[in-house]
Amino acid sequence: MHNSKYALRTHQLTKSFRSFKKKPGIKGTLQSFVKRDYTTKNAVDGFDVTIKHGEFIGLLGPNGAGKTTLMKMLTGIIVPSSGDIEVLGYTPSERHKIFRKKIALVMGQKSQLWWDIPAMDSFKLLQKYYEVTDQNFKNRVEELSELLAVKDLLHIHVRKLSLGERMKLELMACLLHEPEIIFLDEPTIGLDLVAQKRIREFLASYHKKNNCSVILTSHYMADVEALCERIVLIIDGKNSFDGSIHEFQNVLGRKKFVQFRFSEKVDNKASIWKDLDPEWNPAGNMVNLRIDESQLREKSQEILQSFPVSDFQTDKMPIERVMNTLLTRPDLVAKSAAQKAQQQAQQKNKDKA
């Protein structure tokens, strides 16, 4: 029996891939028989993370950052090049039978349901694979199909269903065996706004009821804001940020996002825009600004008095805007991490005093 204090823990986890580089043309082909040039890239590079039981984590990062590679290592699909992984007390790459019964992986771009048969037939195959008793299987199908509103879809061939309907059934398939930890890799990709919202509502309700651990990757920031308590940011295979959503939103400082609309085109070279990170629309009659909370009133009054403002609105830095900024300015993550470490050190010194 494996017991673990944590749902998941990695230490210096690294995965390297070696790629063959061939020069173009017949000459390049012939040269490759004699000498081959290879390049090695770390898709995941010294990645450290610890996740407690029952946490709902958002794993964020740009395309090619290493998210999917990391998810595949955590579920045992691929073996790490170096470092350690422990998931529910097991080493994933060993693919222990009990371990496989305790996890579930949903990949938005890959299906585990057979395309040419009804979903229920695939569910029955999964029942045998996970050794779910007939009574438990019946109860799970009843409960999940009702929660996901798919009772009428269970006996329809999967290929005849819409993308949103298929994704609901994919989620249902991964939950039949009551996994303790769920890995969701882009579960809402390609879905319309209504379907995304329904999937989010189901996941939030299921997590609250079952208190399972969930690791979610998504490029839709609405998914992350609605579901995740904590964010782990992976850039170039490294853990670049690990903290609460509130801390993530404050990475760029205590600033407000302010949008001004003007009744006509205005001077975008005026000195007032300096240090406010202005983003103008092509027509020059709308600007998005970042203003320190301490300066918000003063700057807003100055803009209202100096320009023909027709409308304006303020909001905290939305997570999507923070994410976009960090992807173009990764140095801000390092700066924030250094500031956080300094604050923690100062707090420890105060506590000792």
What is the CATH number for 287? 3.30.70
**Tens-digit pLDDT profile for residues 292-313:** 878 888 889 999 999 999 998 8
- Reference 101, options 120, 85, 88; nearest CA is 88
Domain for residue 3, yes or no?
no
Question: Looking up tokens 């509130």, which residue turns up?
Answer: 246
pLDDT above 70 covers a percentage of the chain that reads 86
Domain for residue 23, yes or no?
yes
Average pLDDT over residues 318-323: 67
**Domain membership of residue 304 as a residue range:** 255-316
Same domain, 331 and 273: no
Domain boundary among 212, 232, 248: 248
Domain count of the fold of the chain: 3
Same domain, 30 and 126: yes
pLDDT of 124 reads 94
Same domain, 131 and 191: yes
| Predicted structure pTM score | 0.75
Same domain, 96 and 188: yes
Per-residue pLDDT band for 1 (boundaries 50, 70, 90) equals: very low
Cα dihedral across residues 5, 6, 12, 17: positive or negative:
positive
pLDDT above 90 covers a percentage of the chain that reads 39
Q: Is there a contact between 12 and 82 (Cβ–Cβ < 8 Å)? A: yes
Q: Which amino acid is located at 65 in the chain?
A: A
Same domain, 75 and 30: yes
Domain boundary among 248, 277, 306: 248
Same domain, 289 and 309: yes
Same domain, 72 and 153: yes
Q: How far apart are CA 190 and CA 152, in angstroms?
A: 23
Q: Which residues of 174-197 are buried (b: 16+ CB within 10 A; e: fewer)?
A: bbbbebbbbbbbbbbbebeeebbe
Q: Could you tell me which residues come within 8 angstroms of residue 14 by beta carbon, excluding any fewer than 6 positions away?
A: 42, 44, 45, 46, 47, 80, 81, 82, 83, 237
Same domain, 264 and 342: no
Domain for residue 2, yes or no?
no
Which tokens is 209 given? 């009821």
Same domain, 209 and 268: no
Same domain, 216 and 268: no
Same domain, 199 and 221: yes
Q: How far apart are CA 290 and CA 296, in angstroms?
A: 9
